[in-house]
Amino acid sequence: MKKLLLVFSLIFIPFTHVYAGIDESINNATAPIAEFIGKVVFFKIPVFGAQLPLVVLWLVVGAVFFTFYMRFINIRGFKHAIQLVRGDYSDPKSHGEVSHFQALATAVSGTVGIGNIGGVAVAVTVGGAGATFWLIVAGILGMSTKFVECTLGVKYRQEFEDGHVSGGPMYYLRQGFSERGMEGFGKFIGTFYAVGIFIGALGIGNMFQSNQAYVQLNTVAGGALDGFGWLIGLILAAVVFSVIIGGIKSIARVTEKIVPFMAIFYCIFAIIVILMNIDSLPQAISNIFTGAFTGEGVAGGALGAMIIGFQRAVFSNEAGIGSASIAHSAVKTNEPVTEGVVSLLEPFIDTIVICTITALVIGTAQVADPNFANGAKGVAMTSAAFQREFSWFPLPLAFAALLFAFSTMISWSYYGLKGWTYLFGESNSGQTVYKLIFCAFVALGCIVELGPILDISDALVFLICVPNILGLYFLAPIVKREMESYFARIDSGEIKKFK
């Protein structure tokens, strides 16, 4: 790989002056747009010297509310979630349908992305070690939000005559409100969400991913790809194009199969690195706890750390965004609650397991050598932390990052497409237009710098949460009723185990 990149760069170096300018000019053109969107959506309230973005508050209040309202389903439902995934309650007669495990795996590969590797580094850089604590708290709370949105996704999914199904927030928002006699508002808010997820898919599920994949590739290549973001972008866009437009499903299928193994491989190596730094571990953990409540050296103190942690958690596990609800709604079940319960595991795997492990890798490296990263940010910082122990690690990490980014892009292209077809119908030509736009943004992501991309992505993601969480408040009583009836039937033995 290194050799290939070397040859590649040797060929292109003579043209550097001509082509490197492309990145810069596109970057300059997009920066003001990003700034503007960021300002509008990230309206910040100053609280005790920290800047609290309104949307972060919106999500956290929602997650806390659902945790209490559903009586700690995030903790109570955990064991049952594992039983469901194991197939203890699956009727053999329904074999061949989408299993709980399959729905969970698909949703997880959509959320396990660069955010787990790079996003955590961003959180630790800006919010200090303490941000990790709040990241985990947000993960635990986010489990409740996921439960509510995935239950609703299945309950209100739409089955088309040819047998395919579409579901997700736009459908439950529309139908849920119309059942409560607010048809007009339901239509409005469903449309609002669909627009949000379609545009949002271009940020979190697209530009951020391709950008960080490029950054990691460039790190591995020793900076030989500086200024060639446009080229990597075009290559990535071409691969995405071949899958979502060219219909080369095999690429997507292979990715879908490799990603879970890459995630396990990543976690195993992360744990090894942590163990190799075992001396620094107690200090790193204590930094997380003290940082969480003192916020030393962080703008805004403890509250600043908290905000950053929450913000990155949402970005990573997507609770409250409603994307997983789209993936889960493909499952045929008579009990929508079961999908909700299974989806609890997503923030757990994504945020509480993978993000925490990443945070500890970075944390222990920081304790051992405060300047280990040499100013590197995002994925590059995580990569540097691994590199301290395994000099060869950046290469497989780059490969993993590329795959994570790719699988997240494929998943999000689907989520965005669902928003698009909700708005413009299921016509094929319309879908192609959407997919072309999606590919264009893949390329754009590699060209623009991380800062503006994070601003745009965050801003767009939170824009989607506004209609979704608003709807969840209104529809929560329905979920609660279903949940209580379901667990009562489990307790009474009316719903039987098959294993």
Partner 1 sequence: MSNKILVAIDGSEGGKRALTAAVEHAKLTHSDLILSYIIDWSPYSFHTPEELEERQKRRDSEIQRAHDSILNPEVASLEAQGLTVETVVRHGKIAEALKEIADQYKATQIYIGKLGESRMRSMIFGSVTAALIQTSLLPVTVVP
Site string for partner 1, 323-362 (x = CB under 8 A): ---xx--xxx------------------------------
Of positions 30, 67, 74, 106, contacts partner 1 by CB under 8 A: 106
Nearest partner of 153 among 482, 424, 440, 491, judged by Cα: 482
Q: x/- contact string, 361-400, with partner 1 (CB under 8 A)? A: ----------------------------------------
CA–CA gap between residue 453 and residue 215 (Å, rounded): 13
- Show contacts of 216-219: CB within 8 Å, 24+ apart: 216/379, 216/380, 216/383, 216/394, 216/397, 216/398, 216/401, 216/402, 217/5, 217/398, 217/402, 219/376, 219/379, 219/380, 219/383, 219/394, 219/398
Who contacts 315 (Cβ-Cβ below 8 Å, separation ≥6)? 115, 119, 204, 457, 458, 461
When the beta carbons of 26 and 98 are compared against partner 1, the nearer one is 98
102 binds partner 1 (CB under 8 A): yes
DSSP 166: E
Q: What is the x/- site pattern for partner 1, positions 201-240, by CB under 8 A?
A: ----------------------------------------
**Among positions 31, 98, 234, 299, the unique one binding partner 1 when judged by CB under 8 A:** 98
| Nearer of residues 3 and 499 to partner 1, judged by Cβ | 499
Binding mask 287-326 for partner 1 (x = CB under 8 A): ---------------------------------------x
Integer angstrom CA distances of residue 479 from 229, 325, 341, 385, 411? 46, 14, 11, 43, 26
Q: Which residues make Cβ contacts (< 8 Å) with residue 476, sequence separation at least 6?
A: 66, 69, 70, 148
Residues in contact with partner 1, shown as a per-residue x/- string from 399 to 418 under the rule CB under 8 A: -----------xx--xx---
Q: C-beta of 16: minimal distance to partner 1 in Å?
A: 38
Among 14, 92, 370, 493, contact with partner 1 (rule: CB under 8 A): 92
- Binders of partner 1 among residues 442 to 461 (CB under 8 A) are none
Least separation in angstroms between residue 133's CB and partner 1 is 32
Name which position in 78, 101, 372, 487 contacts partner 1 (CB under 8 A). Answer: 101
Q: Segment 9-38, which members bind partner 1 (CB under 8 A)?
A: none
**Of 362, 425, 465, residue with least CA distance to 55:** 465
319, 347 contact by CB (below 8 A):
yes
Q: How far is the CB of 411 from partner 1 (least distance, A)?
A: 6
Using the contact rule CB under 8 A, the part of the chain among 31-39, 248-256, 383-391, 426-434 near partner 1 is: 248-256
Map the footprint of partner 1 across residues 123-182, applying CB under 8 A. 162-166
Closer residue to partner 1, CB minimum distance, 2 or 253: 253
Burial tier of 382 (Cβ tally within 10 Å: 0-12, 13-18, 19+): buried
Return the number of the residue (71 or 253) whose C-beta is nearest partner 1. Answer: 253
Q: What distance in Å separates the CA atoms of residue 147 and residue 152, rounded to the nearest whole number?
A: 9
**Three-state helix/strand/coil letters over 452-483:** HHHHHHHHHHHHHHHHHHHHHHHHHHHHHHHH
Q: Which residue in 117, 29, 116 sits closest to 449, CA to CA?
A: 29
Q: How many residues are there in the chain?
A: 499
Token pair for 86:
């194991």
Q: Is 257 in the site for partner 1 (CB under 8 A)?
A: yes
Q: How far is the CB of 419 from partner 1 (least distance, A)?
A: 13
Q: Contact residues for partner 1 (CB under 8 A)?
A: 87, 90, 92-93, 95-103, 105-106, 109-110, 162-166, 249, 252-253, 256-257, 259-260, 326-327, 330-332, 410-411, 414-415
